[in-house]
């Protein structure tokens, strides 16, 4: 995963997230939907799945 990639948090996931930063085994992601209450959060890289194009 690299900064700017669009990912899902689960292979069957629906929500799409953008990778904001990657450090070692963790990435900071944020929802691509522009809605109130969205915020960046940290997740382990091994759980991220590339979003379908």
- The mean pLDDT of the chain is 95
Task: Record the pTM.
Answer: 0.91
- Residue 1, domain member (yes or no): no
Question: What's the rounded Cα separation, in Å, for the pair 48 and 10?
Answer: 7
- Residue 17, domain member (yes or no): yes
Q: What is the CA radius of gyration of the chain?
A: 10
The structure tokens listed for 19 are 């990778």
Q: Which of 39, 36, 30, 35 is nearest to 48 (CA)?
A: 30
Question: What's the rounded Cα separation, in Å, for the pair 36 and 21?
Answer: 22
- Residue 40, domain member (yes or no): yes
- The number of folded domains in the chain is 1
pLDDT in tens, 15-25: 999 999 999 99
> How much is the average pLDDT of 24-28?
96
- Residue 14: CATH number of its domain: 2.30.30
Asked whether residue 34 carries a pLDDT value surpassing 90, the answer given is no
Task: Give the angle 11-14-15 at the CA atoms, nearest 5°.
Answer: 110
């Amino acid at each position: 995963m690299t900064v700017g990639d669009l990912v899902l948090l689960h292979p069957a996931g629906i929500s799409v997230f953008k990778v904001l930063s990657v450090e070692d085994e963790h990435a900071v992601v944020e929802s691509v939907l522009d809605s109130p209450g969205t915020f960046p959060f940290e997740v382990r890289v091994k759980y991220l799945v590339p979003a379908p194009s």
